[in-house]
Structure 1
């Protein structure tokens, strides 16, 4: 498979490996060692199943999920419910989560280059503005290939950084293999398992994948290329997450020192494994932050344009306006250190409801007659059923966390 054939799968990998994933995987490794690696392995398999169905719908129908929602949900109440959920979870949610993406990239840059301020503009921390400007330039280009190349480069950079750090920490190979293939649930680990799966299997990636795949591959005969792209890119993203978890397990599990964030992990690696490990982790954190800071607004624009019937062209005014607003909100939140708790709560609730709804909707779409021979077979339906149950579990945990 040629490099030019890669793209949408790398966008998905770049999207789910953000600062939130780095933090979650770091805390999982520090608190439970290698024991929860199986949860990441499961989450990658679940992600592959759902994302394959999404890209198949995109390539065969030549429309994103937003457009398919509009066309297949004809009842006003069901369509309105779906639109409200997508808006709350994907558009509003990504606006506030964007602050975390920019903050993560800024922490990585600060670890590499030191603090950056623009006192004349009243900015004590100007890194979020700089990172936001880079993301803005990439998205404003309106070139799908440029966006793909940039994100493929960031995924490769994350791979080198996080896997390099993993190698420097000299992990326990037997413990790692046991954690991967022998599931266990240490005391107090339930919510961490849910978080690990939830950072990989996320609703907005389904919109991102379907729309970007429909733009890149225009005929059913190209479906195999799209599937190969997904099969190579998404497991690479999972490998990066596993490397972060294993690094934290090697460095902190069973030790007195603790970590509260990915920045703590980067800073604490130097006395244990040398300055190289600290710099590699900082590079990885920067790449994770800026990749998610680019893909989150892009996914939101695809989702909103589709469900509202707007143009999905990368250079259209409505498309650019959507991702620009989300990016701007993220810059403000990150630069000012704002913690919009109530809005995050709303997004968490909406995400908790949207994931099983989206999983069920894609499952339904992939069994519709208009897909012809590309409908789900029995095996795919059984796997989709398992993922549906998992998504309901995630939904329940997310809603419980939000309300209790």
Structure 2
């Protein structure tokens, strides 16, 4: 469990930028935006782009371009927040809003992460089926394996993780570059597709899906954290240079993402809309039609790009989930567990959709996941604009009037489109189920009102009530005033022993804390199957042996002039140790660390972490 207050503490400030010149210095800043950009070309984008291209030809390319410009603006604000204040978006929200609002924002952001992960699960499963003819359910199950990949890459360092992501982006981009030569799109119609026009009905639904798939809320959290992996000079020149370099990085990466998204839409328009296939929202159908029209190379490249996009997006989605959980509600758990929880929550709807509706229903589920992302976007965008416009905390790096106007117009556009979508969707549900109208209205309208009220609070609160936290660069608050310290005389000290080589150092450090005036409680827990089941009633060989060993320790301490008592616990180690500590009113617990790392912690557990959460006294850990 990470104890760092920094965003992504295990890699915070791990990439050195100082001491480098020329291209080496520029390249040292490059990387975060490419990790973010994969979220702009994940399998969720594929579904919306395919649906847009097959139904409306080239007419919605302008929505992609608009989404890309909006993304560029918002991602640059996210990098500015992370670089200047040293906070990610979730940490800044925790400073500005109360605990209840932060919990609500966490739930909404978590729903967005699950929706994003759902798209990755479906995309990977479909890609594996298309390329290796693997059943969809098997492909969904195999997506659990990316937990191991993420742990491996994180342990290797930030540059290795970024290298993996960039290589995936390269594979996707190269695949679609070749696709463009194969399908030969109508260049004139592509140009006309850049002209905006009114949106209604299914075009509006797909357009909002495109916005949700392109401007993903979790990318704002992720980018504001990733820029902090660069170690920079914390002065005006260093900060300004970092902002400039990250803007360049963001511009290049997001333009590449726009090329990929536009290529998918153009591919659908040229390959399907042109030939009268107007309802191709399913990735599998697109793959079959590509093979039917253009031969074997195009669909193979299509499947390879799909797998690469899904795998890279999965890694970045996991990091975003960690940032959101730690930032909003200050809860830190192991990355593998965080990955498993998110992935399971995404796998369950995908699994049951395949089981009961078949693989053909996955396309609609993909588009729906992107609409969910778009609906959550306002709750990330509005706080971001507030935080980066705060002159007190941003200083000379606060948003200019022009940037604020553009940013708020963007927020109004996003929220307005979402409100229009929600109103139309509720009306369609009610019209489609006349007998259930009352139930639909009584369930959806109160929920919609609650979300609107939360959005209004998030929007209005910073205008009227300023954050009480004055020092934004210290997520856990300011240092306290330290006065004269009186000596602490400990009289009741617990010593956890396990009869290993660690015991000698553990007991020695405990004796140093209390001297010969304190009472020492030697604590050992019997973990046998009998102890788990029978508790104190167990009387097996191991229990007898452990009690004899404790008596030997006690006798030796008595010979040295120390007062000690023996306490034997049974069953689960952490709970048994905590029970003794609480029952005996101990003032300090001394434990030896087992030294496990990575996968050994998964196998053997982390007793120290568990114990310290169950007791209220200090714990001295002896390595």
TM range (shorter): 0.7 to 0.9
- In the TM superposition, residue 326 of structure 1 has moved relative to its aligned partner by 0.7
Per residue, is there more helix in 1 or in 2?
1
| Correspondence 1:170 to 2:184 | yes
Which of 104, 109, 127 is 1:90 aligned to? 109
Post-superposition Cα deviations, 1:7-28, rounded to whole Å, max 9, x if no partner, equal 2211221112221110100110
Q: Distance in 2 between matches of 1:402 and 1:296?
A: 28
| Contact kept? 1:21, 1:199, Cα under 8 Å | yes
Give a deviation string over 1:179-237, Cα, whole Å, max 9, x none.
12x22347642222222122111211110111111223544142222111111111111
| Residue aligning to 1:37 | 61
CA contact (8 A) 1:99 1:330 kept: yes
**Other-structure match for 2:491:** none
Question: CA offsets per residue over residues 21-48 of structure 1, 9 Å max, x none?
Answer: 1010011011111111011000000001
SS at match of 1:222: helix
Cross-structure match for 1:107: 126
Q: Partners in 1 of 2:375 and 2:177 — Cα distance?
A: 34
Larger Rg: 2
Which deviates the most, 323-332 or 347-356?
347-356
Which structure carries more relative contact order (alpha carbon 8 Å, separation 6+)? 1
C-alpha distance in 1, partners of 2:252/2:368?
34
Distance 1:192 1:349 in 2: 8
Residue 121 of structure 1: aligned partner: none
Q: How does 1:209-224 map to 2 (within 5 A)?
A: 209-218=223-232, 219=234, 220=239, 221-224=241-244
After TM superposition, list the pairs within 5 Å mapping 1:1-400 onto structure 2. Answer: 2-73=26-97, 76=98, 79-87=99-107, 89-115=108-134, 125-142=137-154, 143-180=157-194, 182-185=195-198, 188=201, 189-218=203-232, 219=234, 220=239, 221-257=241-277, 258-310=279-331, 317-335=333-351, 337=354, 351=373, 354-368=376-390, 369-400=392-423
In structure 2, runs of 5+ residues without a counterpart are: 1-22, 428-623
Higher deviation after alignment, 45-54 or 12-21: 12-21
Distance in 2 (alpha carbons) for counterparts of 1:346 and 1:284? 22
Number of aligned residue pairs: give it: 385
Specify whether residues 389 and 217 from structure 1 end up closer, same or farther in structure 2 by C-alpha distance, changes over 3 A only.
Answer: farther
Q: Secondary structure at the match of 2:275?
A: coil
What is the alpha-carbon distance in structure 2 between the residues aligned to residue 201 and residue 155 of structure 1?
17
> 1:163: Cα distance to partner?
2.6
Note the C-alpha offset of 1:60. 1.0
Residue aligned with 1:199, SS = helix
**Cα offset for 1:86?**
2.6
**Take 1:69 and 1:347, find their aligned partners in 2: how far apart are those partners?**
25
Structure number having the greater strand percentage: 2
Q: CA deviation at 1:172?
A: 0.5
Normalised by the length of structure 1, the TM-score is 0.86
Q: Distance in 2 between matches of 1:12 and 1:27?
A: 24
Helix, strand or coil: the match of 2:137? coil
CA distance in 2, matches of 1:174, 1:265: 23
Give the C-alpha shift of residue 262 in structure 1: 1.6
Q: TM-score, normalising length from structure 2? A: 0.57
Whole-Å separation in 1 of the counterparts to 2:200 and 2:408: 28
| SS state at 2:193 partner | helix
Tell me by how many angstroms 1:90 deviates. Answer: 2.3
Q: Are the counterparts in 1 of residues 46 and 283 from structure 2 also a CA contact under 8 Å?
A: yes
For structure 1, the 5+ residue unaligned runs are: 117-123, 312-316
